[in-house]
Protein backbone atom coordinates (compact mmCIF):
# COMPACT_ATOMS: atom_id res chain seq x y z
CA UNK A 1 0.00 0.00 0.00
CA UNK A 2 1.20 3.57 -0.74
CA UNK A 3 1.69 5.02 2.72
CA UNK A 4 4.17 7.90 2.42
CA UNK A 5 1.95 10.60 1.00
CA UNK A 6 1.95 14.34 0.32
CA UNK A 7 -1.24 16.40 0.02
CA UNK A 8 -1.16 19.77 -1.74
CA UNK A 9 -3.58 22.46 -2.78
CA UNK A 10 -4.52 26.08 -2.20
CA UNK A 11 -5.67 27.47 1.15
CA UNK A 12 -9.21 26.28 1.89
CA UNK A 13 -9.17 23.33 -0.54
CA UNK A 14 -9.73 20.84 2.32
CA UNK A 15 -6.18 19.48 2.67
CA UNK A 16 -6.44 19.23 6.45
CA UNK A 17 -9.82 17.48 6.36
CA UNK A 18 -8.77 14.98 3.68
CA UNK A 19 -5.43 14.33 5.38
CA UNK A 20 -7.17 13.65 8.71
CA UNK A 21 -9.71 11.33 7.09
CA UNK A 22 -6.92 9.31 5.46
CA UNK A 23 -4.76 9.38 8.57
CA UNK A 24 -7.44 8.31 11.04
CA UNK A 25 -8.90 5.51 8.96
CA UNK A 26 -5.63 4.13 7.56
CA UNK A 27 -3.38 4.60 10.58
CA UNK A 28 -1.17 7.23 8.94
CA UNK A 29 0.40 10.09 10.88
CA UNK A 30 -0.89 13.51 9.80
CA UNK A 31 2.05 15.93 9.70
CA UNK A 32 0.85 19.51 9.10
CA UNK A 33 3.53 22.18 8.97
CA UNK A 34 0.86 24.88 9.47
CA UNK A 35 -0.20 23.15 12.74
CA UNK A 36 3.44 22.88 13.86
CA UNK A 37 3.95 26.61 13.21
CA UNK A 38 0.71 27.55 14.99
CA UNK A 39 1.80 25.43 17.97
CA UNK A 40 5.06 27.39 18.19
CA UNK A 41 3.13 30.69 18.02
CA UNK A 42 0.65 29.62 20.72
CA UNK A 43 3.44 28.37 22.98
CA UNK A 44 5.48 31.56 22.54
CA UNK A 45 8.62 29.71 21.46
CA UNK A 46 11.49 31.60 19.80
CA UNK A 47 10.45 30.01 16.51
CA UNK A 48 6.89 31.21 17.15
CA UNK A 49 8.08 34.78 17.64
CA UNK A 50 10.12 34.55 14.44
CA UNK A 51 7.25 33.26 12.26
CA UNK A 52 4.22 35.00 13.80
CA UNK A 53 4.26 37.97 11.42
CA UNK A 54 4.69 35.80 8.30
CA UNK A 55 1.89 33.41 9.27
CA UNK A 56 -0.55 36.23 10.14
CA UNK A 57 0.22 37.91 6.80
CA UNK A 58 -0.20 34.64 4.89
CA UNK A 59 3.41 34.69 3.67
CA UNK A 60 5.62 31.64 3.44
CA UNK A 61 8.08 31.39 6.32
CA UNK A 62 11.79 31.15 5.35
CA UNK A 63 12.92 27.88 3.75
CA UNK A 64 15.85 27.32 6.14
CA UNK A 65 13.47 27.28 9.10
CA UNK A 66 10.93 25.08 7.27
CA UNK A 67 13.65 22.58 6.31
CA UNK A 68 14.95 22.45 9.91
CA UNK A 69 11.45 21.93 11.34
CA UNK A 70 10.59 19.21 8.82
CA UNK A 71 13.99 17.50 9.18
CA UNK A 72 13.46 17.38 12.94
CA UNK A 73 9.84 16.21 12.65
CA UNK A 74 10.64 13.50 10.09
CA UNK A 75 13.66 12.32 12.10
CA UNK A 76 11.25 11.65 15.00
CA UNK A 77 9.05 9.51 12.77
CA UNK A 78 9.31 5.70 12.85
CA UNK A 79 9.72 4.88 9.16
CA UNK A 80 7.78 1.61 9.55
CA UNK A 81 4.62 3.70 9.73
CA UNK A 82 3.01 5.74 7.00
CA UNK A 83 2.44 9.49 7.04
CA UNK A 84 0.71 12.22 5.11
CA UNK A 85 2.50 15.56 4.75
CA UNK A 86 0.07 18.48 4.66
CA UNK A 87 1.25 21.93 3.49
CA UNK A 88 4.81 20.82 2.74
CA UNK A 89 6.48 21.15 0.28
CA UNK A 90 5.22 24.51 -0.97
CA UNK A 91 7.98 25.68 -3.30
CA UNK A 92 10.79 24.31 -5.47
CA UNK A 93 13.53 24.55 -2.80
CA UNK A 94 11.42 22.67 -0.24
CA UNK A 95 10.57 19.98 -2.80
CA UNK A 96 14.22 19.46 -3.68
CA UNK A 97 15.06 19.16 0.01
CA UNK A 98 12.25 16.63 0.54
CA UNK A 99 13.04 14.48 -2.49
CA UNK A 100 16.80 14.46 -1.82
CA UNK A 101 16.27 13.16 1.69
CA UNK A 102 13.15 10.98 1.67
CA UNK A 103 11.37 8.33 -0.40
CA UNK A 104 7.68 9.09 -1.05
CA UNK A 105 4.92 7.05 -2.71
CA UNK A 106 2.25 9.43 -3.97
CA UNK A 107 1.23 13.10 -4.09
CA UNK A 108 -2.38 14.28 -4.06
CA UNK A 109 -3.29 17.70 -5.48
CA UNK A 110 -6.70 19.05 -4.45
CA UNK A 111 -7.90 21.30 -7.23
CA UNK A 112 -10.62 23.96 -6.55
CA UNK A 113 -11.56 27.27 -8.21
CA UNK A 114 -11.03 30.66 -6.50
CA UNK A 115 -14.74 31.49 -6.01
CA UNK A 116 -15.39 28.30 -4.03
CA UNK A 117 -12.24 28.82 -1.96
CA UNK A 118 -13.20 32.38 -0.98
CA UNK A 119 -16.67 31.20 0.06
CA UNK A 120 -15.27 28.35 2.17
CA UNK A 121 -12.62 30.52 3.84
CA UNK A 122 -15.20 33.15 4.81
CA UNK A 123 -16.79 30.53 7.10
CA UNK A 124 -13.59 29.01 8.53
CA UNK A 125 -13.08 29.44 12.29
CA UNK A 126 -10.29 28.27 14.59
CA UNK A 127 -10.56 27.61 18.32
CA UNK A 128 -8.40 30.07 20.27
CA UNK A 129 -7.81 27.41 22.94
CA UNK A 130 -7.09 24.04 21.32
CA UNK A 131 -6.78 25.01 17.63
CA UNK A 132 -9.70 22.83 16.42
CA UNK A 133 -10.90 23.82 12.96
CA UNK A 134 -14.59 24.60 12.17
CA UNK A 135 -16.57 25.77 9.18
CA UNK A 136 -19.76 27.72 9.90
CA UNK A 137 -21.41 26.32 6.75
CA UNK A 138 -20.37 22.66 6.83
CA UNK A 139 -18.97 21.93 10.33
CA UNK A 140 -20.45 24.50 12.76
CA UNK A 141 -19.93 24.26 16.55
CA UNK A 142 -22.90 23.08 18.68
CA UNK A 143 -22.92 26.40 20.63
CA UNK A 144 -22.30 29.42 18.36
CA UNK A 145 -18.73 30.76 18.59
CA UNK A 146 -17.69 28.19 21.24
CA UNK A 147 -15.41 25.21 20.71
CA UNK A 148 -17.14 21.81 21.18
CA UNK A 149 -13.93 20.34 22.63
CA UNK A 150 -12.67 22.98 25.10
CA UNK A 151 -15.32 25.75 25.20
CA UNK A 152 -12.89 28.53 24.14
CA UNK A 153 -14.02 31.21 21.69
CA UNK A 154 -13.76 30.68 17.94
CA UNK A 155 -12.17 33.28 15.69
CA UNK A 156 -11.40 33.64 11.98
CA UNK A 157 -7.79 32.86 11.09
CA UNK A 158 -5.96 36.17 10.47
CA UNK A 159 -4.61 34.74 7.20
CA UNK A 160 -8.16 34.01 5.96
CA UNK A 161 -8.93 37.75 5.47
CA UNK A 162 -10.01 38.19 1.78
CA UNK A 163 -7.08 40.47 0.77
CA UNK A 164 -4.59 38.02 2.28
CA UNK A 165 -6.34 35.04 0.68
CA UNK A 166 -6.06 36.64 -2.77
CA UNK A 167 -2.33 37.18 -2.28
CA UNK A 168 -1.87 33.63 -0.98
CA UNK A 169 -3.66 32.24 -4.01
CA UNK A 170 -1.35 34.22 -6.33
CA UNK A 171 1.62 33.00 -4.33
CA UNK A 172 0.28 29.46 -4.54
CA UNK A 173 -0.04 29.67 -8.32
CA UNK A 174 3.51 30.94 -8.75
CA UNK A 175 5.33 28.83 -6.18
CA UNK A 176 3.39 25.65 -5.60
CA UNK A 177 2.41 24.58 -9.10
CA UNK A 178 6.04 23.96 -10.20
CA UNK A 179 6.32 21.67 -7.16
CA UNK A 180 4.07 19.21 -8.95
CA UNK A 181 6.46 18.85 -11.89
CA UNK A 182 9.24 17.88 -9.50
CA UNK A 183 7.05 15.56 -7.42
CA UNK A 184 5.77 13.96 -10.65
CA UNK A 185 9.29 12.80 -11.50
CA UNK A 186 9.59 10.79 -8.28
CA UNK A 187 6.04 10.01 -7.11
CA UNK A 188 2.67 9.11 -8.53
CA UNK A 189 0.68 12.42 -8.68
CA UNK A 190 -3.12 12.45 -8.58
CA UNK A 191 -5.09 15.61 -9.33
CA UNK A 192 -8.49 15.42 -7.62
CA UNK A 193 -11.45 17.77 -8.13
CA UNK A 194 -11.98 19.06 -4.58
CA UNK A 195 -15.03 21.23 -5.27
CA UNK A 196 -17.24 18.30 -4.17
CA UNK A 197 -18.22 17.14 -0.67
CA UNK A 198 -15.43 15.92 1.66
CA UNK A 199 -16.74 12.33 1.44
CA UNK A 200 -16.81 12.36 -2.38
CA UNK A 201 -13.27 13.74 -2.52
CA UNK A 202 -12.11 11.12 -0.02
CA UNK A 203 -13.76 8.31 -2.02
CA UNK A 204 -11.99 9.39 -5.19
CA UNK A 205 -8.59 9.66 -3.48
CA UNK A 206 -8.99 6.16 -2.05
CA UNK A 207 -10.16 4.71 -5.36
CA UNK A 208 -7.26 6.22 -7.28
CA UNK A 209 -4.70 5.14 -4.69
CA UNK A 210 -6.10 1.61 -4.71
CA UNK A 211 -7.15 1.90 -1.07
CA UNK A 212 -10.24 0.14 0.35
CA UNK A 213 -13.31 2.02 -0.93
CA UNK A 214 -15.91 1.11 1.67
CA UNK A 215 -15.49 2.75 5.06
CA UNK A 216 -15.86 0.40 8.04
CA UNK A 217 -18.25 1.29 10.89
CA UNK A 218 -15.40 2.99 12.77
CA UNK A 219 -14.30 4.79 9.61
CA UNK A 220 -17.84 6.15 9.22
CA UNK A 221 -17.79 7.50 12.77
CA UNK A 222 -14.44 9.16 12.21
CA UNK A 223 -15.49 10.62 8.91
CA UNK A 224 -18.87 11.69 10.21
CA UNK A 225 -17.19 13.74 12.90
CA UNK A 226 -15.08 15.49 10.33
CA UNK A 227 -17.77 16.43 7.82
P1 LIG B 1 -1.57 26.24 6.46
O2 LIG B 1 -2.16 25.85 7.77
O3 LIG B 1 -0.99 25.07 5.70
O4 LIG B 1 -2.54 27.05 5.63
O5 LIG B 1 -0.31 27.19 6.77
C6 LIG B 1 -0.45 28.38 7.53
C7 LIG B 1 0.74 29.29 7.33
O8 LIG B 1 1.94 28.63 7.78
C9 LIG B 1 1.06 29.68 5.89
O10 LIG B 1 0.32 30.80 5.46
C11 LIG B 1 2.55 30.04 6.00
O12 LIG B 1 2.72 31.30 6.63
C13 LIG B 1 3.05 28.96 6.95
N14 LIG B 1 3.45 27.74 6.22
C15 LIG B 1 2.80 26.54 6.23
N16 LIG B 1 3.44 25.65 5.46
C17 LIG B 1 4.52 26.31 4.95
C18 LIG B 1 5.58 25.94 4.07
N19 LIG B 1 5.67 24.70 3.54
N20 LIG B 1 6.51 26.88 3.77
C21 LIG B 1 6.47 28.10 4.30
N22 LIG B 1 5.49 28.53 5.11
C23 LIG B 1 4.53 27.64 5.45
pLDDT digits (tens, 9 = 90+) for 43-98: 999 999 999 999 988 889 999 999 999 999 999 999 899 999 999 999 999 999 99
What number of CA atoms fall less than 13 Å from residue 58's CA on the CB side? 19
Give the lowest-confidence range in 23-27, 48-52, 131-135, 213-217: 213-217
Q: If you take atom 20 of ligand 1, which residue's CA is the nearest one?
A: 60
Beta strands in the chain (DSSP E): 4-8, 29-32, 83-86, 106-111, 124-127, 133-135, 154-155, 188-193
Q: If you take atom 6 of ligand 1, which residue's CA is the nearest one?
A: 34
Cα 11 from Cα 64, distance rounded (Å) = 22
| Cis peptide bond prior to 24, omega within 30° of 0 | no
Residues flanking ligand 1, CB < 6 Å: 11, 33-34, 37, 54-55, 58-61, 66, 87-88, 90, 94, 159
Q: Ligand 1, closest atom to CA 94? A: 19
For the question of residue 90 being annotated catalytic, the response is yes
The answer to whether the CB of 153 falls within 8 A of the CB of 145 is: yes
Q: Ligand 1, closest atom to CA 37? A: 8
Q: Supply the pLDDT for residue 224.
A: 33
Amino acid sequence: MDNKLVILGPQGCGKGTQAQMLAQSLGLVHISLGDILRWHIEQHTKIGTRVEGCVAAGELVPDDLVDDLMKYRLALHDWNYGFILDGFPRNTAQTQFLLESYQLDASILLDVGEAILLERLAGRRLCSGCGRDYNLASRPPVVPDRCDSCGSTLAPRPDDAPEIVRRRLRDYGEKTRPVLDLLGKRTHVLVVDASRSPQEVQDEIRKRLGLPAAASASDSRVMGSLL
